[in-house]
Homo-oligomer: A and B are copies of this chain.
Amino acid sequence: MVVKDIAYHRKTARQRRSELIDAGIACLGRGGMSAFTIDQICKQAGVSRGLINHHFDSKEALLVSIYAQMTEYLVRNHAATSPRQQIASFIDGSFDAASFNKSNLRAWLAIWGQVATHAELKSLHQQRYQKYRLQLVGALTVISEAEQLAVDADSVARQLIALIDGLWLEYCLHSDGFSLDDARADCYRFLRGIDIVIQPDQDLQGQMQP
């Protein structure tokens, strides 16, 4: 029995947009901004050239949507959990094997490069990072006040974020040298250095993805 050839399969705008976003991330991960072209993204998504401009105002608008999806985890609400759990969640989430692979890191690098240049992207980035940072500062403040620690929460939050991002960078740019577990351990070691002792959630530990 011969199934009649269907020229293409229709999907809802929401679903197709999501697929285009994923395809865009895949392209960014493969070759950075140079690979983020209409042709390559559409080929990756298995659709024709015209579809991106149908679902998005422009290629740049797609990039903003991609960034919005990639940073969604930063603004999740952790208010219900304890300060220590919040911090552990940030650290472990940042080095989660599922999202912390080199393809994703290349995508991050590419987008960071664009954040410095594009106004809309920069605005969204600062908004997301601000919320992320404030959650961290809040958790650190609660801990340091409860335990009478001489800790500058702003400075520590800044250092911890920098440490996480810097370890991402190192891990992404150097193929060898250390593992995800090393990186995570470095973060907890840093906090221990300023008398903030946090037990990492063992359940979150996993294997590295190449």
A residues with CB within 8 A of B: 31-34, 102, 105-106, 109-110, 112-117, 122, 125-126, 129, 155, 158-159, 161-167, 169-170, 172-175, 177-178, 182, 185-186, 189-190, 193-194
Contacts and interface: CB of A to CB of B under 8 A. Distances in A.
Given A32-B113, A33-B32, A113-B110, A155 B182 contact: yes
A97 to B, nearest CB: 19
A112 B173 contact: yes
Contact of A170 (B110, B113, B114, B158): B158
Contacts of A112: 109, 113, 169, 173
Nearest to A187: B159
B113 A33 contact: yes
B174 A129 contact: yes
A116 B173 contact: yes
B162 A167 contact: yes
| Chain copies in the assembled complex | 2
Nearest to A159: B186
5 closest A-B pairs by CB: A162-B166, A166-B166, A193-B193, A165-B166, A109-B113
10 contacts: A32-B114, A109-B112, A109-B113, A113-B113, A155-B186, A155-B189, A158-B170, A162-B170, A165-B170, A193-B193
A55 to B, nearest CB: 23
A164 B122 CA distance: 22
Given A34-B33, A155-B186, A193-B194, A116 B162 contact: no
Contacts of A110: 113
Contact of A169 (B126, B155, B159, B162): B162
A177 B134 CA distance: 12
A122 B127 CA distance: 32
